[in-house]
């Protein structure tokens, strides 16, 4: 697309004739190649405007700059033969430009967006699974993985929602592959940073709100408001043959707030409170739960093959979402019973051992407490926990996670998560100090083993019949980041290898 045609998607000022062919949009100067439009985005630690010169050196003939950064860009690009598009906000503008460059793919798809503190990845995977089982070709963008139909998109090493050019490119690939639906996990970062703008949602779902990412959002109110953007965006999306519907968790206190943000139809779901879609009569069955789903037009028995009430909540949310999508109820219920789960979420590792090994992404106090409580209530043996806390940000998680483990685990191994540039030993010492503060003793109730692979091996070697070992916090992630170094550690693979070394090899 020519720059001058692309610029029509934005209310900006074009400097130059705009007759430059644009084939991609980049916000990282290192990824720029001829044909790329470089968007200079002010970041939290670096400003993309500082890399305009490098982007031009790498082949950019056109750049997008922010009006209030003129002091950084005017002298750099004058006389360089580079066209400029000047915008009021380059971050939000990048999303609209990316959508335009890809011919607005979300207008050609029906789109489900899911937000919340916990459970959103699992719910996205469950809805994608159900749609696919109903014969609806579906694309998926989630924290754990991205797929177009059954084909995985290569892991990009990211930890949250991809940037808007990647999101729009994925949606365009879904259109080209003949997908009818897209399911998108809308994280608070993704919403606040405009990464999922231009996705034109048809159904928007909310799981819950806890206290998280306060270092990024600044306050609980701002965090909640970022989540709420999804429901405001629902009202602004073009109509695509599906009634715009907000799916809200009636069990969560933020339900009323989310409802207030949209004029679209609202359907509620829940377990504890009255809701349009309600799970009643829960009872365990194997590792899962069977319940009655009381819905507006039917009551049906449902089996979700994952343990805990939080997976029941996801199942009843999926019923509400697929009802709004007009998917056939019988196929939806059958598909829920065959759901394999989301990568690294409530994922059991079975190698014939006489104890349970569970990998879960629980990486905040509430989610860790929730899964430990489930294991505490269902286990006949000890609960052994392995967890750490990330460095640099979300430091408020550390005391809460330590207290959750102190209260609900019989023994805890404190280990690496992703320290990043923060002192690894200081993070572990902080968690250990909190364990001691609530009366736990080194060597008797917990141990500090920095290397996560070694901690997992030690935890599994400690386990005996009917114990349960929880490997928490990393889930689907495959690496531990320490400063400028990385070591490979996929909890699922490390656990399988450790079990093999203990003599358990059956799959």
Does 507 map to a domain? no
Per-residue pLDDT of the chain (507 residues; tens, 9 = 90+): 999 999 988 889 999 999 999 999 999 999 999 999 999 999 878 899 999 999 999 999 999 999 999 988 887 766 678 999 999 999 999 999 999 999 999 999 999 999 998 889 999 999 999 999 999 999 999 988 999 988 888 655 455 678 999 999 999 999 999 999 999 999 988 998 999 999 999 999 999 997 655 555 457 888 899 899 999 999 999 999 999 999 999 999 999 999 999 999 999 999 977 899 999 999 999 899 999 999 998 999 999 999 989 999 999 999 999 999 999 999 999 999 999 999 999 999 999 999 999 999 998 999 999 999 999 999 899 999 999 999 988 888 899 999 999 999 999 999 999 999 999 999 999 999 999 999 999 999 999 999 999 999 999 999 999 999 999 999 999 999 999 999 999 999 999 999 999 999 876
Q: Which of 99, 120, 146 is the last residue of a domain?
A: 99
How many whole angstroms from its chain centre is CA 258?
A: 19
Select from 312, 311, 340, 344 the least CA-distant residue to 472.
344
CATH number, position 264: 3.40.1190.10
Q: Which of 99, 124, 154 is the last residue of a domain?
A: 99
The torsion region of residue 222 among left (phi > 0), alpha (psi -120 to 50) and beta comes to alpha
Does 434 map to a domain? yes
pLDDT in tens, 314-367: 999 999 999 999 999 999 999 999 999 999 999 999 999 999 999 999 989 999
User: What is the residue whose two structure tokens read 């720029």?
Assistant: 32
The token duo for 440 is 């736990």
Neighbouring C-beta atoms of residue 437, cutoff 10 Å? 12
In a shared domain, residues 61 and 126: no
* Alpha carbon distance 394, 440 (integer Å): 24
In a shared domain, residues 160 and 204: yes
* Alpha carbon distance 417, 474 (integer Å): 7
Please, what is the angle between helix 397-408 and helix 424-437, to 10°? 50
Residues 6+ apart with CB under 8 A from 210: 117, 118, 364, 366, 367
CATH number, position 381: 3.90.190.20
* Alpha carbon distance 81, 84 (integer Å): 10
> Would you say the C-alpha torsion 412, 215, 156, 237 has a positive or negative sign?
positive
In a shared domain, residues 328 and 189: yes
Does 506 map to a domain? no
In a shared domain, residues 439 and 376: yes
In a shared domain, residues 433 and 306: no
In a shared domain, residues 286 and 372: no
Residues 6+ apart with CB under 8 A from 478: 155, 488, 489, 490
* Alpha carbon distance 70, 84 (integer Å): 11
CATH number, position 18: 3.40.1390.10
In a shared domain, residues 117 and 131: yes
Q: Model pTM?
A: 0.90
Range of the domain at 14: 3-99
* Alpha carbon distance 86, 88 (integer Å): 7
In a shared domain, residues 252 and 296: yes
In a shared domain, residues 39 and 27: yes
In a shared domain, residues 8 and 45: yes
The pLDDT value recorded for residue 249 is 97
* Alpha carbon distance 314, 333 (integer Å): 13
User: C-alpha angle 247/293/261, rounded to 5°?
Assistant: 15
* Alpha carbon distance 501, 503 (integer Å): 5
Number of domains in the chain: 3
Beta carbons of 456 and 491 less than 8 angstroms apart = yes
């Amino acid at each position: 697309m020519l720059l001058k045609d692309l610029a029509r998607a934005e209310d900006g000022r074009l400097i130059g004739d705009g007759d430059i062919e644009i084939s991609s949009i980049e916000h990282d100067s290192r990824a720029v190649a001829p044909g790329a439009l470089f968007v200079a985005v002010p970041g939290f630690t670096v400003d993309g405007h500082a890399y305009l010169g490098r982007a031009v050196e790498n082949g950019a003939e056109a750049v997008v700059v922010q009006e209030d950064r003129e002091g950084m860009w005017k002298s750099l690009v004058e006389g360089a033969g580079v066209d400029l598009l000047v915008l009021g906000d380059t971050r939000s503008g990048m999303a609209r430009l990316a959508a335009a460059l890809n011919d607005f793919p979300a207008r050609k798809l029906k789109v489900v967006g899911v937000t919340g503190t916990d459970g959103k990845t699992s719910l996205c995977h469950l809805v994608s699974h159900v749609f696919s089982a109903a014969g609806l070709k579906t694309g998926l963008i989630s924290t754990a993985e991205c797929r177009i139909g059954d084909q995985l998109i290569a892991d990009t090493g990211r930890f949250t929602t991809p940037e808007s050019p990647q999101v729009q490119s994925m949606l365009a690939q879904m259109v080209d592959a003949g997908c009818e639906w897209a399911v998108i996990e809308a994280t608070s970062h993704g919403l606040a940073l405009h990464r999922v703008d231009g996705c034109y949602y048809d159904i928007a779902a909310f799981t819950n709100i806890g206290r998280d990412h306060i270092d990024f959002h600044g306050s609980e109110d701002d965090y909640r408001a970022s989540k709420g953007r999804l429901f405001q965006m629902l009202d602004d999306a073009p109509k695509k043959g599906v009634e715009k519907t907000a799916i809200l968790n009636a069990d969560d206190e933020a339900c009323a707030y989310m409802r207030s943000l949209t004029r679209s139809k609202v359907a509620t779901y829940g377990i504890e409170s009255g809701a349009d879609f309600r799970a009643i009569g829960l009872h365990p069955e194997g590792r899962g739960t069977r319940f009655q789903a009381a819905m507006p037009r039917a009551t049906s028995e449902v089996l979700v093959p994952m343990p805990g009430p939080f997976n029941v909540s996801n199942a009843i949310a999926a019923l509400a979402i697929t009802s709004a999508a007009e998917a056939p109820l019988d196929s939806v219920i059958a598909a829920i019973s065959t759901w394999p789960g989301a990568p690294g979420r409530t994922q059991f590792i079975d190698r014939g051992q006489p104890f349970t090994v569970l990998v879960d992404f629980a990486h905040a106090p509430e989610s860790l407490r929730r899964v430990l409580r489930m294991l505490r209530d269902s286990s006949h043996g000890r609960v052994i926990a392995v967890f750490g806390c990330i460095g640099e940000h979300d430091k408020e998680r550390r005391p809460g996670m330590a207290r959750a483990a102190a209260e609900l685990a019989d023994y805890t191994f404190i280990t690496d998560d992703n320290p990043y540039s923060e002192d690894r030993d200081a993070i572990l010492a902080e968690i250990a100090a909190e364990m001691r503060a609530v009366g736990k003793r080194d060597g008797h109730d917990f141990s500090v083993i920095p290397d996560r692979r070694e901690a997992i091996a030690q935890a599994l070697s400690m386990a005996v019949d009917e114990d349960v070992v929880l490997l928490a916090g990393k889930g689907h992630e495959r690496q531990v980041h320490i400063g400028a170094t990385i070591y490979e550690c996929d909890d699922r693979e490390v656990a399988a290898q450790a079990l093999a070394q203990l003599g358990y090899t059956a799959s």
